[in-house]
């Protein structure tokens, strides 16, 4: 079945350093979404990318969707302690079998 | 608008028991999805309901079931609980506009099976 892989699984950075998480799908995606889950919280929608090669920015966060629409990345510039959490990518399920298929996430910790 | 509400927040059960979890979606959202979250497996899709009909189903045993009411509120039931069912159960509601359909998650029900 469809798989969405995310790397790295964990990332620890010093405050002020940059951070990137990568997402790869086994199939071409019509769109990709990113969610953030704070410790003890629930996933919160960040953004959706639809177009091939699309790049979107939200303040210090930059999201990219690959040209082949099979991979995506999230880059955070100059991390802050408020960026702590787990970042998930998710793509639509194939054949209507699943709502969204989530990657296992990248857990980001930031040392102040 | 109120967010997605899940009850109860925490639940402790013993093996063999059954449990019912409740989810009230955001007003106007007709789609409700359920996910199981565990440290090892991440977020795994259980099922989706839309207008009281199950639209999609994940790869979980028949012990996991759900339903949706006419007011879009949803319940999921797990019968004959096993230790491995311990997890955070997340409900998400959504509303599609064109190709955009983002999920709004509730705070989840943390289920512990002893």
Rounded CA-CA distance B43/B81 in Å is: 19
Q: Is the CB of B106 inside 8 Å of chain A's CB atoms?
A: yes
A1 pLDDT exceeds 90? Answer: no
Q: Measuring CA to CA, how many Å separate B87 from each of A2, B10, B11, B39? A: 23, 10, 10, 8
pLDDT, residue B33, reads: 95
Q: Is the CB of B90 inside 8 Å of chain A's CB atoms?
A: yes
User: How confident is the prediction along chain B (114 residues), in pLDDT tens digits per residue?
Assistant: 789 999 999 999 999 999 999 999 999 999 999 999 999 889 999 999 999 999 888 989 999 999 999 999 999 999 999 999 999 999 999 987 777 788 999 999 999 999
Closest Cα of chain B to A47: distance in Å? 8
Q: How many residues does chain B have?
A: 114
Bridge partners (DSSP) of residue A67 are none
CB pairs < 8 Å spanning A and B: 56
Exposure string over B15-34, b if 16+ CB within 10 A, otherwise e:
eeeebebebbbbeebebbbb
Residue of A nearest to B107 (CA): A42
pLDDT, residue B88, reads: 98
Q: How confident is the model at residue A98 (pLDDT cuts 50, 70, 90)?
A: low
Q: Which chain A residues touch B31 with a CB distance below 8 Å? A: 99
User: Which tens digit of pLDDT belongs to each residue from A60-80?
Assistant: 999 999 999 999 999 999 999
Q: Is the CB of B102 inside 8 Å of chain A's CB atoms?
A: yes
Closest Cα of chain A to B100: distance in Å? 8
Closest Cα of chain B to A95: distance in Å? 10
Q: How confident is the model at residue A95 (pLDDT cuts 50, 70, 90)?
A: low
Q: Which two tokens stand for residue B102?
A: 């983002």
């Amino acid at each position: 079945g469809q798989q969405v892989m995310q790397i790295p699984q964990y990332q620890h950075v010093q405050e002020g350093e940059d951070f990137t998480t990568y997402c790869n799908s086994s199939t071409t995606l019509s769109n990709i979404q990113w969610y953030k889950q704070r410790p003890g919280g629930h996933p919160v929608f960040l953004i959706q990318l639809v177009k091939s090669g699309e790049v979107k920015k939200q303040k210090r966060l930059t999201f990219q969707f690959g040209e082949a629409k099979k991979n995506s990345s999230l880059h955070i510039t100059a991390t802050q302690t408020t960026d702590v959490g787990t970042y998930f990518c998710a793509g639509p399920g194939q054949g209507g079998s699943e709502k969204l298929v989530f990657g296992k996430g990248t857990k980001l910790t930031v040392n102040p | 608008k109120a967010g997605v509400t899940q009850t109860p927040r925490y639940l402790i059960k013993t093996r063999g028991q059954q449990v019912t979890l409740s989810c009230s979606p955001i007003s106007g959202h007709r789609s409700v999805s359920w996910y199981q979250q565990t440290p090892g497996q991440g977020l795994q899709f259980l099922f989706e309901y839309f207008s009281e009909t199950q639209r999609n189903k994940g790869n979980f045993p028949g012990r996991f079931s759900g339903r949706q009411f006419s007011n879009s509120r949803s319940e999921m039931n797990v019968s004959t609980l096993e230790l491995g069912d311990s997890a955070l159960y997340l409900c998400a509601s959504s509303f599609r506009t064109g190709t955009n359909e983002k999920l709004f998650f509730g705070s989840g029900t943390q289920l512990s099976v002893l």
